[in-house]
Structure 1
Amino acid sequence: MDIRPLDGRLSASPQIAPEDMPAIAGAGFRSVVSNRPDGEGPDQPSAAEIEAAARETGLAFAHVPVVGGAIEKTDIDRFRQVVDDLPKPVLGFCRTGTRTTTLWALQHAGERSADELIDVARAAGYDISGLAPRLQAAK
């Protein structure tokens, strides 16, 4: 697994598998959020498979699927609510972790500077510099 912290509440990761749940719980996570739509890739486990394994391991689970490049305000609001409501810390994942990081940055736009959000993402290994205009517009 490749877990990258974004803040004290949320970390991002590329695709995880059901068999990763014991290690995720062992790393101290209490919840998992899938940001990947089902059927996006041929070898991708379904959200239901991930959820079953998460719950079996004692982890809370939520599915907030988004399409990269098409993230709307409703997606951001739903992600914010889910992360707020779930036990912390939360591990969010998608194919590469970039969508989770994008949702995290967009939910904090207006609260933190665009440069700060981009720098945190970069330190975690994600380039979201293309979001700068959208992050700046949220002031």
Structure 2
Amino acid sequence: MKSIAVNENLSISDQIEATDIERLAQEGIEAILCNRPDEEEADQPSFSDIAAAAEAKDIEAVYIPFKTAEMKPEHVAEMRRLQGSGKRLHAFCRSGNRSFCLYAAAQASRGLPKEQILQQAEKAGVAVEKIIESYYEDA
């Protein structure tokens, strides 16, 4: 698991394993978010296995799977809800990019300045400008 801290309440990584839950619990993570559809690749762990490990550590497990470029408004709304919960959240997908793009869209939908999101994305090595541009068209 290659994890980056986006801010004090959010970290993002590539695919996690059930064995990574212990580390996340020690880091104070209170919820995990999977943005990867089950069986996207043959060898990936199932969400249900990861969720069971998370729930055994009292970590909420949320499943918002979508394929790259298929993010929907309801995905963004659920990410906003999770961010607004005050829980320390860890989001993951195959590489971390999809989860970061969802975070960026949620932040843009809240009105966070575009430049701030782009700076965070640059630090994370993720291109999000096309994902968030529609949130700033009327600004």
Q: Secondary structure at the match of 2:75?
A: helix
- Cross-structure match for 2:92: 93
State the percentage of identical aligned residues: 26
Matched residue SS, 2:22: helix
Q: Cα–Cα, structure 1 residues 32 and 132, in superposed 2: closer, same or farther, change >3 Å?
A: closer
Counterpart AA for 1:69: A
* 66-75 vs 123-132, greater mean Cα deviation: 123-132
Q: Distance in 1 between matches of 2:93 and 2:42?
A: 14
| 1:108 aligned partner, one-letter code | Q
- Match in the other structure for 2:56: 56
Whole-angstrom CA distance in 2 between matches of 1:14 and 1:135: 26
The aligned runs of 1:1-139 (5 Å cut-off) are 1-85=1-85, 88-110=87-109, 111-137=111-137, 139=139
User: Structure 2: how far apart are the matches of 1:136 and 1:6?
Assistant: 22
The Cα of 1:9 is off from its aligned counterpart by 1.9
4+ residue stretches of structure 1 with deviation over 6 A? none
Ranges in structure 1 where 5+ consecutive residues have no aligned partner: none
Superposed CA RMSD in Å reads 1.8
Write out per-residue CA displacement over residues 32-70 of structure 1, whole angstroms, 9 at most, x where no aligned residue.
Answer: 111111111111111101100111122111111122111
- One-letter amino acid matched to 2:99: T
- Aligned residues between the structures: 138
Output the CA distance in 1 between the equivalents of 2:87 and 2:121: 19
Distance 1:35 1:60 in 2: 14
Structure 2's unaligned 5+ residue stretches are: none
How far the C-alpha of 1:138 sits from its partner, in A, is: 6.8
Q: CA deviation at 1:72?
A: 1.5
